[in-house]
């Protein structure tokens, strides 16, 4: 089945450069507009089932997208939630470097490891597909799940041997990425020229 992963819209903490992690911060007005833009980018005529993480910024993004097309309100899949950043939750990204060093090598006490979040995002995608199958949703139905930047980035890195996203490049608010999910494999359906 094809699962489209979308990053939630902007929050005030995104705007301020503050690390949200698993802290439940709501969308701001820009984030709501980004959700509407994400909805416009999706084919509203395709049969679609919505999913989201349990954090309000992802769930509201998913509800805005669903409402724009008359789709179901999202089924919540908790493993889609953002990485827990331990002692870095709530601090400014500028403070992060001073306290913990460069992002790629930083050791943050209490933070969820990249290896753990890779396992969790794969688990989440499999839960989305399992939910769809258990509810008799046909294989040609598009599944759309709203998640978080670190989760989508780590999945892409795992599937592209670290090539995407490029170092220092994050996942934009409202950005969508398609994945083909089977029982044995997950593949990124990369846009032309991205591989």
CA 66 centroid distance within chain: 16
Q: What are phi and psi of 92, to 5 degrees?
A: -70, 150
Quote the CA–CA distance of 111 and 153 in Å, as a whole number.
16
List of residues 6+ apart from 154 with CB closer than 8 A: 83, 114, 117, 118, 121
Q: Which of 33, 73, 82, 95 is catalytic?
A: 82
Q: Which of 37, 48, 44 is nearest to 73 (CA)?
A: 48
Respond yes or no: is residue 8 known to be catalytic: yes
- Using DSSP's 3-state secondary structure scheme, residue 154 falls into helix
Q: Which of 8, 148, 164, 177 is catalytic?
A: 8
Respond yes or no: is residue 82 known to be catalytic: yes
Q: Which residues are catalytic?
A: 8, 82
């Amino acid at each position: 089945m094809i699962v489209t992963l979308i990053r939630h819209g902007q929050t005030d903490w995104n705007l301020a450069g503050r690390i949200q992690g698993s802290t439940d911060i709501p969308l701001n007005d820009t984030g709501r507009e980004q959700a509407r833009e994400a909805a416009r980018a999706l084919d509203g005529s395709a049969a679609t089932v919505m999913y989201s993480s349990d954090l309000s910024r992802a769930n509201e993004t998913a509800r805005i997208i669903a409402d724009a097309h008359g789709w179901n309100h999202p089924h919540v899949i908790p493993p889609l939630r953002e990485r827990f950043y331990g002692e870095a939750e709530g601090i400014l990204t500028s403070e992060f470097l001073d306290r913990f060093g460069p992002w790629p090598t930083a050791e943050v006490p209490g933070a969820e490891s990249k290896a753990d979040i890779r396992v969790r995002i794969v688990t989440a995608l499999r839960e989305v597909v399992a939910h769809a199958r258990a509810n008799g949703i046909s294989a040609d139905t598009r599944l759309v799940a709203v998640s978080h930047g670190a989760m989508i980035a780590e999945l892409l890195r795992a599937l592209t041997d670290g090539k995407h996203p490029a170092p220092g490049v994050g996942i934009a608010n409202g950005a969508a990425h398609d994945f083909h999910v089977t029982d044995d494999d997950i593949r990124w359906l990369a846009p032309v020229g991205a591989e």
